[in-house]
Structure 1
């Protein structure tokens, strides 16, 4: 019978395992794979568009700003800079020096701060040249052979823009030989009335070109190229697709060879920005990833199936034997309703569980009886609270009689004792304000002053914002009693106690310091670590235990002392308020 039902459990388990786990996991895995491929492809497109937009906007702005600045610099005030450069070339000696100083002033006035200017240089029609900030290190004949120099000579009075390595200028301040700069050149013809200047050149640092050159450092699957109208690569992130781009210059946007291309023209130039993203690596990686997942899932399912077989053999069969033992026990004699349409082992477990529930109900009834007895004891304890109230009323009568008989000392001591009793028994709350605690403490100190003939003095240092802070009742009195009774018992002169309360962050700190006989380290250890209840410091032990009950780990209680010098108690616990009323201590 058990064997038959065990097979039923096995069949149910396998069927549900396939329906609930195998099929959903395979379906989710396949859908997730296709979604990841699609999302990755979309992310690549978005990334390409973002890179393209950032580089285009930056480069076009840099070219426009640089061109406008160069034109403004050369042509402001009726070509004042060009005229001054020409006169500098014509004259020698003092006049040349004068025009040189005039040029420096004009440069400082006309160059905009926002332009990352690397330098300005003029080549004269003779052998002379003049530069501001930095000069070109290449020999003049090599500069004249550059394509951009020749283009500027062919198309005069027009600003031409090109790209060069930053290493061509002196003092470039860069350790990267591949760093690029924008080179703006113009051959002034009609603007040079003295016919002295062959070429004016301005070098500008370019963030866009540096982004192109460093693209490989932030993306290993995106390549960026800047190409001019002659198919010359002006700037590039790498050389992976350089030949492919040059041979397919007709492409504007699309796919080729498993890669995505974006080719965009730069405004006001004949340059093109080419961005290539490798997409085939995504497909290849996802194929491998998918194959790995399929293999892993197959291995897991196989291991899980083997485990399930062993599980059913090692767990369900012993469970059936256990059910037989439970059935033969005395507990089974109880009348329990069990479902008939479930496997045998489950029926036995249900029956036993129901029996345990009945037992728990019996225990609950017994516990309820105990609770009722406990409440009766609490009621009896409340009746005994009449005794403190009776004592308080009796003391009030004594105070009245002392007042009638004009015994002020007795009256004041009785009033102080009444106040202490009222603080202890007037409510069931465990906390009251520091203000109320200090009021009770003053009454206690008055009684102790009468008892010990005022052989001590108290200095109060209480911050106003601590007066309404809630503190446990009667935690201060045992500490003051310890100082007066034990700390000053061998003192010949008047003892002093400093009582300081202040707030620090979200905690209240209480310091009580006396100049009594002090305590040894062993005495402190007995109080705080061993908590020796036979010690005469039982009040301090109670304070420590109460703070632990109220604040758990959120309090600190420290005793420091030096024999014949002082004893200091520091208490720290969370700062809490009951209300916003302001009172004065």
Structure 2
């Protein structure tokens, strides 16, 4: 595999990534969105409340200005006040004292309505001269008359002009700033010489007004003029002028809000105009105070979110680990199985599904070991059967040498029947025992059957006929050795035992769908249902019965599996034995035992011309002495009986 090829993810990695994407990211995103929405809502609510507060202060400040204007108008329109002031201006020093006392009493009555906020009232007379009530002016009379507001007020008589803040105009004040209003009484107010009434008020009323609202040292509320100067402040300090940019923004509209820097060092400004004056009520709130509650909520929400996420991840990782751990254990156990350790077991634990997987894995391993054990047992049984077959051969060299000696003795004694029968038995035994491997070709097996038929005809006489129906292409195929001889023997010895003549044995072979079908039938006495049932039961239990038909069936199944074997069918007259074996075109015993069905090897040659022809063997018969026939039969059957007993003892 290329080092750059993509490796599949572990299921634990996938689950952890899924938890992060499906839980942590959404929760974090939702928390951030909610907190941002809360922040915007908090800012909006704070801004609206601040604006309402500023608007209320502006309205109250307008009422205070209206009171000052009303006071100035009342004094300026009072003919008694104007007349007495004119009398004081005209009177000599001796007579002025009484008039002054009366004027002060009248003005004191007006001053009661202002609760001591009046600092001074300056009367400016036509043609020159002034009179001061309460405090004296610092500024010269000429400077006063040359002021722009003076000329403007004089040109607009009987109307109070609110002048706003005036600085350093009176003596004897710790606060050198005052609120001023002026009115120029016309002659319609009576005969008088008062040209201008200049009224000065303290800023106490406005500062008291500002102090009555929620504020802190860091959040001052102030009244400022158009030039940025401070008229009044809740912080008890005058402070410097506001920046030009801020002042221009505040005086661009009648009310509004403005944030200079939306961070912890910034400030929220809320402002509103005071009536028709050039003043603005300004509320300055540090941005950190506006967002103080939000930051508390933010810290709490983020802490709770992180805690919930951590708690959820711990629980989720725990369950993910509970899920992935059995899977990882299963992978480890399977790796050990791949390495050859078939004793690997999984302790069934976890969820129901994982317990089922563990139990299934353990059951699978038990099944694998059972199948391997059965396979080994089958191999052992096959080897035992082969060994038993070899054991049944006794000592083929000794037997063949003995038969050769008998054949020579018969030749010397001119006993042709004994000589011929011994010669056929030698060829039969040589073909079966002296060739290597457990397989033989169909042609060789037919030759062996021909030799056996010659022996049996010599033994029993010509009381039966053999008919052959073997397809030519099947002669090159291979089968197990000694596979057909026990069945043919059963047909002759048992099937035709009750017939003296007219016995027919039919031998057929043909290739079917990947299988070779061989049928051997007789027209003898047949088998009962109990005998066939006993054969089937014995086949299912796996018991052997020497070199007989059970041995044939068991050898086929041991070599090729349960889909092949021997089947017995009763006929109307006699019995049919049908064999089904795989099509084997190769004679290599190792490959055939492993179940391979390919390769090619030249088949053994067909029986020679001197042998019995499978297409129509000549009927041979001879009148041998019964004792000689019995001796030959005993010599042939003795090894079979011994092998039968040995195989039973082995199994």
| Shorter-chain TM-score tier | 0.3 to 0.5
Q: TM-score, normalised by structure 2?
A: 0.37
Question: Could you say which structure has the greater relative contact order, defined with CA pairs below 8 angstroms and 6 or more residues apart?
Answer: 2
Normalising by structure 1, report the TM-score: 0.40
